[in-house]
Every structure is written in structure tokens, then in C-alpha cells.
Amino acid sequence: MSLLVKRKSASSILDGIIDGNRAGVSEMWIDGSRARRPTRFSYPGEMRKAVWLLALLLAPAPAQTVHPVTGRPIAVVMGMGGADWLVRPEREQEEAPDAALDAIAIARGSTVADVGAGAGYFTWRLAARVGPAGKVWATDIQPEMLELLRRNADSRGFHNVEAVLGAADNPRLPRAALDLALLVDVYHEFSEPQKMLRGIRAALKPGGRLVLLEYRKEDPAVPIRAEHRMSVAEVRAEIEPEGFRFDKVLETLPRQHILIFRP
């Protein structure tokens, strides 16, 4: 996420990633510091960052480029090429996913949704917490991601997960069924955020919660590109007009806000 590259084209970037040549990459920083260009990546973490970057470059452009209320640039959706980044081992330390779910407090037997679930990194954690009597609706707009998610859930023995192919303007969740809708590092990528929020609100029970995890834009030490971070003020300005009431923000994670809303 913090890898900044000036490029000529996506194909020449790929050449640069593989060969380390100067044709595709003119300047490169990793986590904000200048790094000597290697002829090849010396450890898997570097390759994961490069694959994530390439996935962003090759992904389709969003339907909207800025949010109509705040003017915030809408980030490009990560493609299937970045799936390994979503399940990288470093994520445990960087994001503390179990601590996040502890703070959110998910009851056994709950019905929850993982919106923009990707490879299922949070899906299988949610499935463990709601238990066999609960259910997780995992929605994503990429069929390949959902197939990987199904394999990840099945390999861990979770049978309380329902994968749903959503659309850019519709999460395709059942009406008035959810105790919780969880969006982890994904809201800022919604190309039709207002329509998605309306669909999510319709899917929540009257006492349900919408919870967003977003990287803190207010903290310059967070090594994530600006379009992949959000401030509390931005989130509230965009969410509240869509029929949600701000409940609270939790600042217990290393890099992310936990923002809680109710319909």
C-alpha cells in the first residue's frame, strides 16, 4: 500500500518488477523511505507489495472518481492479483484483526456480513465468533475472490458462510437480516458509495450496526497511500446523510479507526 511508483505503463511496471530494470520503474519508495532498486526481490514481503501494486494498476477505473459530498478521491479496487497481500502474515501485527473484533464485540449466534470480503481474511474470523448457530454473509464483486474465500472457509471447517456476488452499487444482502455489517479497508474503494450504503442499511435489523475499519488519514505515520486512508470527519460526512447515526469511534488499533454507526 505504501509503495509509490512512477510508471510508463502497467506492462513496463511488470517488466520492472520481474527484472528490476529501469525501463519500467524510475523511482521507488517502500514505506516512505527511498530504497535501492534490487535486481530481484529478496524476500516474499517485497514481492507481495509489488503484486499488490500491479493489481491496482491493472484494475478497472471506478464508476465515480470522487465522492460527490466530500470530493474525496475514490481508490481503485484491488484485483485478484493482490489476494496474497490480503492474507499476508504481517497483517496480524499491522492491523490486529482479533483485537478489532474483540472491540466490536460480536455475539454468538449473530448474523453478520463481511462486505468487500476479498479472500476471507475477516470472514473466517467472523465465522468462528458467531459459531454454528450464526451466519456470515460474505459479499464481494469479484467472482475469483469469492472462490478463494470459499476455499479458505472450507479448509478451516466453517460451514456457516454464504458467499454472495455483489455489484458495485448493490451488496445483494437479505433485507432486515443483519446484526452487523463489517467493512474492513473497503469503503474508500466503493465506486457507488451512496447506493451501497442504502443497500447495507436495508439489510440491517433495526438494532443492527454498521462498522468500518479505515486507515487513519489524520496520522502521517500510517504508511498507506492517501487515497486508501480516511479521516473520521470524512467518514461521518459521507455516512450520516445516508440514514445512519454515528455511535462512536474506537482508536485501539495500531493504524485504523473503528467507526460504528446505527441505522
Which amino acid, one-letter code, is at 48? R
The lowest-confidence range among 10-14, 88-92, 119-123 is 10-14
Asked if the structure places residue 206 within a domain, the reply is yes
Q: Are 28 and 157 contained in the same domain?
A: no
Q: Are 34 and 150 contained in the same domain?
A: no
User: 49 pLDDT band (50/70/90 cuts)?
Assistant: low
- pTM beyond 0.75, yes or no: yes
Q: In this structure, what C-alpha cell is assigned to residue 161? A: 458462510
User: 175 pLDDT band (50/70/90 cuts)?
Assistant: very high
Residues 6+ apart with CB under 8 A from 210: 180, 181, 183, 197, 200, 201, 204, 239, 244, 260, 261, 262, 263
pLDDT of 57 strictly over 70: no
pLDDT of amino acid 85? 87
**Distance, CA of 72 to CA of 65 (rounded, Å):** 8
Q: Which of 58, 74, 94 is the last residue of a domain?
A: 58
The boundaries of the domain holding residue 242 are: 85-262
Domain count within the chain: 2
Q: Are 173 and 216 contained in the same domain?
A: yes
- Measured at the CA of 75, the angle between CA 259 and CA 151, to 5 degrees, comes to 75
